[in-house]
Every structure is written in structure tokens, then in C-alpha cells.
């Protein structure tokens, strides 16, 4: 039953397809990984006990890994103990659920399940029903939103995901959206009740991400030219994040101001998305457009090194085609760097247009080029935006996000007390609600036409 209000909660946090231990900017790891780590730590400082359950990927890690005081990551066996493409993960969900229930018997009883991303939500609706505790879910990204803003040649999210998301929306006691825009998408595209949706804005780690000793000190540490104009890209290399938009914008920029070539440096920091089997071909695009001499690709880096890249840059460019929030934009602002971003998803919340950065309608490279040139020619304005960004980011604390999340857990428990109607509504073998295997005939018959 829901916990007494006097005791901090014990939380089973689920992340099937990626682990909070993974390096953001590689594979399937990104802002969601940062979100889980920072939220779990902030919840723990308020007394909560967090067990994060993720799939074993054969990385030589033990079954249990302490992440912070009162935060432990558990590796479960579901499918082969190794990397799997996202397309293969739905078939591992029943095994993940069974191993979760087995391992949890030796951990502790839980007060709430908090699942992240739709695959975890599928597991969450099964185990929360078995344990008779509330399910809280955070989507992070939405298949219908992504399909509405695909890059040319990019693959649409499958119908199985769309139906899976609808099922999670229907099953969750509470939904957490990062922004009002995401909450509206949940309501308009998935029929989520606004009374069951809480808006909890993510935070930023201002101890790691801060102006530090300034731009020139960061450039010296990274070995970068002191007088360079540096537009920076940080994120997974995938069409959704729009690195191709930046590369094309750089070619347009050099057409507008060829004199910039001698001092232009464009670092692209991040790894290939997913397995990396189908690279988007950025090096070929750079060569084709004649900008390979100014673009510098770098692998994903740890947070403290990333903070130096933010400090060293003149502007962070976030040309995403879809973005639930855009943590990199807030991290850069916390370091004193303005942001040039697409006006999509949560980025208008993360960036204050005209004050801490500039927002662009659409993804036309020429529009980004014109804004980059304006920032290059007005360094004082860019510096003022950077100072305003530090103040803006200071108002986004993970402590605040943790307090709001605890309130969501309380509301979920209140909903449960009013009359939880999960597994009790359908007799299931062993008391575990069935997880339809995504791809089975029964599941395909329910896919949206």
C-alpha cells in the first residue's frame, strides 16, 4: 500500500534500454541518462532510497553498482547479455520483468515505480500491478512527435512503439512531462488526462557546469586557439539532433563571410546513435561542402571536460528536429555560453530567446548561418547573453526537480488510495499482469491503422 507520508519513499526506477552508468552522447545514452543520475541523487539527499534497474549489456560490471548514497544500479538478465538494437528490445521485456521481480525479492519493498521511456513503462505497468503500488512514468521522447519532424531519409518510429506509448499513458497513475509543450503533446496526441500529468522541469548541476575561470582558461586547457570563433555541437550523431543542419549552416556562413575561415573552428562532440551501424555520413558531408578543414569531430567526453568545451565555445548550436527539453542548452548557459537553437519542443523553455540565446524557426541552414554571423560580429551581445544564461540556469536546480517529483509520488499514492484497479481487475498466472510480446499476432492486431 502507499507509504506513510512521514517516511521518504523507496523507489524502483526502471531504464530498460540504457543505463545511468553509460556515457552520455554515445549509443542510446543522452539527456535521459543525465536526468536519471541527477534526479536519483537529488531524491536521495531528501531521504529517498532508489534502486535503478537496467538490462545487462555484458560490460563486465557487477550485478549491483552503487551510484551514490542510497542509489544502486541493478543489472538484470533479459535476452543476451550484450548490446541489442532497440528494435529487438521489446521481445526481452517479459524476461526483464521476471528478473526484476526475482531480484527485488532480495532488495526491499517499494512504494512507487518510476519508469523512463516507453519500453520501461511497459515493464512498469506489469510490476507495479504485481506489487500493487503506483506507477509514475516519464516519457522523455514521444514517437508521434518524432514522426512529425523527421529528417529527410530518417526512419519513422514504428507503430508498435506508438501503441506501446498509448498503453503506458493509460496505465500510469501519474505522468511527468518536462515542459508544458510536452504535457500538451501527451494530451493532444495520446489522450493523457491533464489532471494526471505533472510538469517537472529538469535541473542542471551548477557545481560541474559553471563559468569557472572563463573562456580563455578553458581554451588553454583544451589546446584551442585563443582568437577562434567557435560554434559548438554536443549530442549524439543522429538526424534527429540535426548535426547536418549545422554543417550546412557553416558552409553558408563561409559564403557570407569567407574571411571567417582563418579563425573558424566547429567542434562536433558526440558518438554515433544506437549501434552505429548506419553512420549519418557527416565526414562525407563536410568534404562535399568544403568545410572539413574547419569541422573537428570529437568523441563524447565526461561531464567536467564537457564543461570546458562549453566554456571555450562562443555559442552552442542545438538544431534538433525534436527535443523534449534540451539539457545541453541549459548546461551551456550555466557555463556562460549563449545558445542558438531550433524553436522546437522544450528548447523555448530552456533558452530565453533574445536574452540567453537565439531561437530559429525551422531548420533552414541559411537562417542559422545569419544568426551565427550576427554573433560573430557582435561579441559584446553574445557575452551579455552568456551572463544572462548563467542567471537563467541558476534557477534550474535538481533539488527543485526532486521536490516536485516527490510531490508527484505523493499524488500517485493518493490516486492509488482512491481505488487502484490494476492486476486485481484481471486474474493472471502467478499474479503478474501479462506483457504482450511486441510483435506477436495479438499485439499486431491492435496496432493503429
Binding residues for 1D-myo-inositol 3-phosphate are: 17, 28-33, 86, 117, 141, 161
In whole angstroms, give the CA distance from residue 157 to residue 189. 15
Binding residues are: 17, 23-24, 28-33, 86, 117, 141, 161, 236, 241, 301, 310-311, 313, 323, 331, 337
Cα separations in angstroms, 222 against 27, 184, 229, 306, 315: 24, 42, 15, 10, 16
pLDDT tens digits along 350-400: 999 999 999 999 999 999 999 999 999 999 999 999 999 999 999 999 999
Beta pairing class for 339-342 and 357-360? parallel
pLDDT at residue 45 is higher than 60: yes
In whole angstroms, give the CA distance from residue 200 to residue 382. 29
* Block residue for cell numbers 541489442: 84
More confident site: 184 or 432 = 184
For residue 8, give the DSSP letter.
P
In whole angstroms, give the CA distance from residue 362 to residue 366. 11
Q: In 299-415, which ranges are E strands?
A: 315-318, 339-342, 357-360
pLDDT of residue 280: 53
pLDDT of residue 106: 81
pLDDT of residue 440: 44
What is the percentage of the chain residues whose pLDDT exceeds 70?
A: 88
pLDDT of residue 133: 94
With a CB cutoff of 8 Å and minimum separation 6, the contacts of 168 are 115, 118, 121, 122, 124, 125, 137, 139
pLDDT interval class at 273 (50, 70, 90): low
What average pLDDT does the segment 441-447 reach?
Answer: 48
Q: Please name each of the domains of the chain with its CATH number.
A: 10-203+397-444 (3.40.50.2000), 215-394 (3.40.50.2000)
pLDDT at residue 82 is higher than 50: yes
What is the percentage of the chain residues whose pLDDT exceeds 90?
A: 74
Q: How many CA atoms lie within 13 A of 74 on its CB side?
A: 23
Cα separations in angstroms, 208 against 46, 198, 204, 218, 332: 21, 28, 9, 14, 11
In whole angstroms, give the CA distance from residue 135 to residue 125. 7
pLDDT at residue 423 is higher than 60: no
User: Which of 243, 253, 340 lies closest to 297, judged by CA?
Assistant: 243
What average pLDDT does the segment 97-114 reach?
Answer: 91
pTM: 0.87
Binding residues for UDP-N-acetyl-alpha-D-glucosamine are: 23-24, 31, 236, 241, 301, 323, 331
The burial of 158, by beta-carbon neighbours within 10 Å (0-12 exposed, 13-18 middle, 19 or more buried), is given as: middle
With a CB cutoff of 8 Å and minimum separation 6, the contacts of 372 are 231, 249, 250, 253, 315, 317, 340
pLDDT interval class at 437 (50, 70, 90): very low
Cβ atoms of 23 and 302 within 8 Å: the answer is yes
Mean residue pLDDT across the chain:
88
pLDDT at residue 35 is higher than 50: yes
Q: Computed from CA positions of residues 92, 96, 98, 99, in that sequence, does the dihedral angle turn out positive or negative? A: positive
Least confident stretch, 232-246, 273-287, 344-358: 273-287
pLDDT tens digits along 295-319: 999 998 999 999 999 999 999 999 9
Q: φ and ψ at 376, to 5 degrees? A: -65, -35
pLDDT of residue 127: 95
| Residue 285 Rama label (left phi>0; alpha psi -120 to 50; beta) | alpha
In whole angstroms, give the CA distance from residue 56 to residue 77. 6
b/e map 4-31, b = 16+ CB within 10 Å: eeeebbbbbbbbbbbbbbbebbbbbbbb
What average pLDDT does the segment 109-120 reach?
Answer: 96
What average pLDDT does the segment 63-80 reach?
Answer: 93
* Block residue for cell numbers 559553471: 210
pLDDT at residue 197 is higher than 60: yes
Q: Computed from CA positions of residues 128, 15, 79, 28, in that sequence, does the dihedral angle turn out positive or negative? A: positive
Strand partners, 316: 232, 339
pLDDT interval class at 27 (50, 70, 90): low
In whole angstroms, give the CA distance from residue 68 to residue 403. 18
In whole angstroms, give the CA distance from residue 278 to residue 275. 8
Tell me how long the chain is: 449
More confident site: 252 or 323 = 252
The burial of 372, by beta-carbon neighbours within 10 Å (0-12 exposed, 13-18 middle, 19 or more buried), is given as: buried
pLDDT at residue 8 is higher than 90: no
What average pLDDT does the segment 285-302 reach?
Answer: 95
Q: What is the DSSP string of 113-134?
A: EEEEHHHHHHHHHHHHHHHT--
With a CB cutoff of 8 Å and minimum separation 6, the contacts of 47 are 8, 70
pLDDT tens digits along 129-186: 899 999 999 999 999 999 998 888 788 999 999 999 999 999 999 999 999 999 999 9
pLDDT of residue 426: 39
pLDDT at residue 427 is higher than 50: no
Q: How many CA atoms lie within 13 A of 13 on its CB side?
A: 30
Binding residues for Mg(2+) are: 310-311, 313, 337
pLDDT of residue 123: 97
Q: What is the DSSP string of 186-243?
A: HHHHH---GGGEEE------TTTSS-TT-HHHHHHHHT--TT-B-EEEES-BSGGG-H
Q: According to the 3-state scheme, what is the secondary structure of 54-94? A: EECCCCCCCCEEEEECCEEEEEECCCCCCCCCHHHHHHHHH
Amino acid at each position: 500500500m502507499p507509504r506513510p507520508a512521514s517516511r521518504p519513499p523507496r523507489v524502483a526506477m526502471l531504464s530498460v534500454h540504457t543505463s545511468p552508468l553509460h556515457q552520455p552522447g554515445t549509443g542510446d545514452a543522452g539527456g535521459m541518462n543525465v536526468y536519471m543520475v541527477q534526479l536519483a541523487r537529488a531524491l536521495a539527499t531528501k531521504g529517498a532510497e532508489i534502486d535503478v534497474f537496467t538490462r545487462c549489456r555484458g560490460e563486465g560490471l557487477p550485478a549491483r553498482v552503487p551510484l551514490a548514497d542510497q542509489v544502486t544500479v541493478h543489472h538484470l538478465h533479459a535476452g543476451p547479455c550484450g548490446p541489442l538494437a532497440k528494435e529487438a528490445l521489446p521481445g526481452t521485456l517479459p524476461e526483464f520483468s521476471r528478473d526484476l521481480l526475482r531480484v527485488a525479492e532480495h532488495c526491499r519493498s517499494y512504494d512507487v515505480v518510476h519508469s523512463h521511456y516507453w519500453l520501461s513503462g511497459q515493464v512498469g505497468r506489469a510490476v507495479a500491478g504485481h506489487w500493487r503500488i503506483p506507477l509514475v512514468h516519464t516519457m522523455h521522447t514521444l514517437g508521434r512527435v518524432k514522426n512529425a519532424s523527421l529528417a529527410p531519409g530518417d526512419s519513422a518510429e514504428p507503430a508498435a512503439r506508438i501503441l506501446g506509448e498509448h498503453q503506458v499513458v493509460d496505465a500510469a497513475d501519474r505522468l511527468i512531462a518536462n515542459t508544458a509543450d510536452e504535457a500538451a503533446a501527451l494530451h493532444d496526441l495520446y489522450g493523457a488526462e491533464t489532471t494526471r500529468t505533472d510538469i517537472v522541469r529538469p535541473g542542471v548541476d551548477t557545481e560541474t557546469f559553471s563559468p569557472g575561470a572563463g573562456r580563455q582558461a578553458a581554451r588553454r586547457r583544451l589546446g584551442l586557439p585563443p582568437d577562434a570563433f567557435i560554434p559548438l555541437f554536443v549530442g549524439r550523431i543522429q538526424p534527429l539532433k540535426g548535426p547536418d543542419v549545422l554543417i550546412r549552416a557553416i558552409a553558408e556562413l563561409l559564403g557570407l563571410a569567407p574571411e571567417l575561415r582563418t579563425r573558424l573552428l566547429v567542434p562536433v562532440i558526440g558518438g554515433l546513435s544506437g549501434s552505429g551501424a548506419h553512420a549519418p555520413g557527416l565526414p562525407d558531408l563536410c568534404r562535399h561542402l568544403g568545410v572539413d578543414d574547419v569541422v573537428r569531430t570529437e568523441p563524447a567526453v565526461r561531464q567536467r571536460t564537457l564543461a570546458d568545451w562549453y566554456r571555450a565555445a562562443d555559442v552552442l548550436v542545438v538544431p534538433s528536429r525534436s527535443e523534449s527539453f534540451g539539457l545541453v542548452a541549459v548546461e551551456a548557459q550555466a557555463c556562460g555560453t549563449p545558445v542558438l537553437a531550433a524553436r522546437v519542443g522544450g528548447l523555448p523553455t530552456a533558452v530565453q530567446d533574445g536574452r540567453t540565446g537565439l531561437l530559429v524557426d525551422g531548420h533552414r541552414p541559411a537562417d542559422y548561418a545569419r544568426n551565427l554571423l550576427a554573433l560573430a560580429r557582435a561579441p559584446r551581445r553574445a557575452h551579455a547573453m552568456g551572463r544572462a544564461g548563467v542567471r537563467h540556469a541558476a534557477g534550474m536546480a535538481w533539488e527543485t526537480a526532486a521536490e516536485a517529483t516527490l510531490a508527484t509520488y505523493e499524488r500517485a499514492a493518493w490516486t492509488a488510495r482512491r481505488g487502484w484497479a490494476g492486476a486485481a481487475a484481471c486474474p493472471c498466472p502467478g499474479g503478474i499482469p501479462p506483457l504482450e510480446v511486441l510483435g506477436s499476432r495479438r499485439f499486431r492486431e491492435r496496432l493503429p491503422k
